[in-house]
Structure 1
């Protein structure tokens, strides 16, 4: 059951992260990004990769919260 719940969290989050990646970088060039006035010294591919994993982590948190809110109080308190 735990592996099934894990896939309920990870798979939709993976799909949404891929969609976010395409949408964000269709409008933003990774070489134009700045952090506190300094540009990133990473390649475009590295920025794409880091952004994908950040999007995936954030959407996994969202999916996990949705799953948690859908559980009964008995299941949560076990």
Structure 2
């Protein structure tokens, strides 16, 4: 599989999951009520939505990339186990 195809296979499902997470989280949480370190966030709602989306996308992409790494067939270049 080509690198571009593998990258799309990782990023596209992660993007869809990030969209879904954004909808679910912010259906229940108001960004203006969020606090970090005991203080209210000093960001606009749109800024919170943007940062949260990219965090969700990054976490989902990391999960998908790890799955793709584990699904790769073993390399034939590695020596066999010594007996």
Q: One fold, TM greater than 0.5?
A: yes
The two structures have a TM-score, normalised by structure 2, of: 0.88
Give how far 1:73 is off. 1.4
Q: How well do the aligned residues superpose, as a CA RMSD in angstroms?
A: 1.2
The two structures have a TM-score, normalised by structure 1, of: 0.93
Runs of 4+ in 1 over 6 A off after TM superposition: none
Larger Rg: 2
* Number of residue pairs the alignment of both structures matches: 76
The structure with the largest helix share of the pair is 1
Map Cα deviations across residues 12-32 of structure 1 (whole Å, 9 max, x no partner).
000000000000000000011
Q: What is residue 4 of structure 1 aligned with on the other side?
A: 5
